[in-house]
Amino acid sequence: MTFELRDRTVVLIGGGSGIGLAVARRVIADGARVVLGGRSRERLDGAVAELGPGATARAVDTADPASVEDFFADIDTVDALLTTAATYTVGSFKDLDPDAARSPFESKFWGQYRVVKAALPKFSADAAVVLVSGAASVRPAGPAAPYVAANAAIEGLARGLAVELAPVRVTAIAPGTVDGNLWAGRPDEARDAAFAHIRREAVLGRPGTEDEIAAAVVHLFTNTYTTGSTLYVDGGYALR
């Protein structure tokens, strides 16, 4: 069996930047069409302008179930799906107030859950879903218990959905720290500390790139004998 990306529809919610945009570049080069989603129209328009005629985009907020339903309403078929969209607070069990502590679950876990649910009627028989977790699921970098737990839950969701939705394949990707758009938008002090930590602790001694994560996502989209697995693309961070 094979899964060719040519003429397929790849939905990338959060694809206006970062890892999602890097996946868009790769799958368009392989002949797919992409539908990007995100909250900022300006960001989406910039991505579509860069990607060319193979790309379209529409605004969506994964926090809003009606918005997610609307997003899929006029998409006929979904062949591959990735949701990097998430907005949350990372902090310690001791310090976070209840809303902030819930935010990784509310945004990253339930956001992806509702996207898969809304896409369900549109999946082709051999569709592939890649959920996004993070290597913190198995190796917390510091005090961040709610974020760690939400990532572990996402990996569990991939296993559960792999069983329920087969032959649709469902996997999870767990990036380590990536030198890209997400960290560029965080305070210098936090970024410097995170990059110093990954340089010290990862076997490969550096942060990853968005394109390295994207290459692994494309592998999970197209490998027809992988489902339920979590792929750690973390430079060996989880090994130490």
Ligand X SMILES: NC(=O)c1ccc[n+]([C@@H]2O[C@H](COP(=O)([O-])OP(=O)(O)OC[C@H]3O[C@@H](n4cnc5c(N)ncnc54)[C@H](OP(=O)(O)O)[C@@H]3O)[C@@H](O)[C@H]2O)c1
Residue 235 binds ligand X, judged by CB under 6 A: no
Q: Which of these ranges, 9-17, 25-33, 48-56, 158-166, lies near ligand X under the rule CB under 6 A?
A: 9-17
Q: Using CA atoms, how far apart are residues 163 and 227, in angstroms rounded to an integer?
A: 9
213: its two tokens? 């994560």
Q: Which CB atom, from 126 or from 211, has the smaller least distance to ligand X?
A: 211
- Tell me how far CA of residue 165 lies from CA of 7, 73, 154, 195, in angstroms: 23, 20, 16, 37
Structure token digits, residue 125: 């028989």
Q: Is 126 in the site for ligand X (CB under 6 A)?
A: no
Among 100, 145, 182, 238, binds ligand X (CB under 6 A): 182
Residues 55-114 that bind ligand X (CB under 6 A): 60-63, 84-87, 108
Closest CA to 168 of 220, 115, 132, 123: 123
CB of 117 to ligand X, least distance (A): 15
Q: Is 215 in the site for ligand X (CB under 6 A)?
A: no
Rounded Cα–Cα distance for residues 78 and 63 (Å): 21
Stated as kind and residue range, the H or E segment containing 129 is strand 123-132
* Between 30 and 61, CB nearer to ligand X: 61
Partners of 123 in the β-ladder: 78
Nearer to ligand X, 177 or 230 (CB): 177
Q: Does residue 12 touch ligand X according to CB under 6 A?
A: no
For residue 122, which amino acid is it?
K
- Spell out, one character per residue from 135 to 174, where the chain touches ligand X: x when CB under 6 A holds, - when not: ----------------------------------------
Smallest distance, Å, CB 30 to ligand X? 20
Residue 78 · residue 127 · CB < 8 Å: yes
Rounded CA Rg of the chain: 17
- Report residue 202 as tokens: 């990862």
Show Cβ contacts of residue 157 under 8 Å, excluding neighbours closer than 6 positions: 109, 112, 113, 131, 172
Smallest distance, ligand X to C-beta of residue 13, A: 6
Query: Is 14 a binder of ligand X (CB under 6 A)?
Result: yes
For ligand X, the binding residues (CB under 6 A) are: 13-14, 16-20, 38-40, 43, 60-63, 84-87, 108, 132, 134, 175, 177-178, 180-183
